Amino acid sequence: MKRELGYQGEQSLDYYYQFLNDDFLLMHDLRLRGINQTFFQIDTLILCPQFIGIIEVKNLAGSIRFENSASQMLRKLNDVVESLPNPLIQVRRQRLQLQHFFLNQNFPSIPIKTIVAFTNPTTIIETDHNPLPNSVIRAEALPEKLENFQTSSNKNSMTSDQLIKLAHFLCQSHLPDQPSVLQTYKLNYVDIRKGVDCPFCNRPFMTRTEKNGSLYCAHCFRFSKKAHLQALEEFSVIMDKSLTNKEAREFLLIESRHTAYRMLNEWSGMLKNS
């Protein structure tokens, strides 16, 4: 439901985007690789020659209260008060991530503005201090806010050609969020069957022998030197990440760190050559 409400909020901004001048380019749901190989996602990224704008969209009902002293945002709905993630902190973190991304790509310094836009027209927005944070607005104020940013800028940070190139580069750098196999099928790590399946009869639990380091199937009595590679590949897809030595040992049902290291290196080499 929260994801659906967020999508509706982003859609409701489409009406106001049409009032922007032709200098602005819009990118939605941009997901990039950030600090320490983590990912960050931006609801809407606005590009123009003078600046880049990060827009965090909030479609929340009820009364919203920003408490500066505690750096928190409270919502009161149906007489229930709850603390929600503070979008002001969120957009500041996104700005830091985007600055780091540009720095890694050797882009020149570009001013980055942040906006938190509330799209539900019935929402009441309050604060424990005056005035309301400058970056918090209602959706209908978005075009004016962006054009004020534009006119108050002293100079352009990018030419039109540079703007187009940046937009293309960001599109190419976008990494869609794909749920892992475990998330898709609502499984846990303990649900994964360990061991290597036989590539000949598809039966489980091949065992490693001293015979040239091969894996042996007790069902069809055949040997394989490569069955562990397919098992590691499937396990990596399920886990949706690179594998540690400990994880490989647990999954392959082997005890030797050196054997696991050799198998992981062999698998890594196979991936590079594929």
**Nearest CA among 201, 245, 258, 253 for reference residue 228:** 253
User: What residues contact residue 205 under an 8 Å CB cut-off, 6+ apart?
Assistant: 195, 196, 218, 253
Whether residue 121 has a cis bond before it, omega within 30° of 0: no
CA distance 121 to 106: 41
The string of pLDDT tens digits covering residues 6-23 is 344 456 788 899 999 999
Q: Give 3-state DSSP helix, strand, coil % of the chain, rounded to 5.
A: 40, 20, 40
Span 136-151, pLDDT tens digits = 999 999 999 999 999 9
Residue among 160, 162, 180 at smallest CA distance from 170: 162
pLDDT for position 73: 93
Average pLDDT over residues 66-70: 79
Residue recorded with tokens 């819009």? 26
* pLDDT for position 10: 58
Query: What's the Rg (C-alpha) of the chain?
Result: 26
Pairing of strands 72-77, 136-138: unpaired
pLDDT (tens digit, 9 = 90+) per residue, 206-218?
988 876 778 999 9
The whole model's pTM is what?
0.66
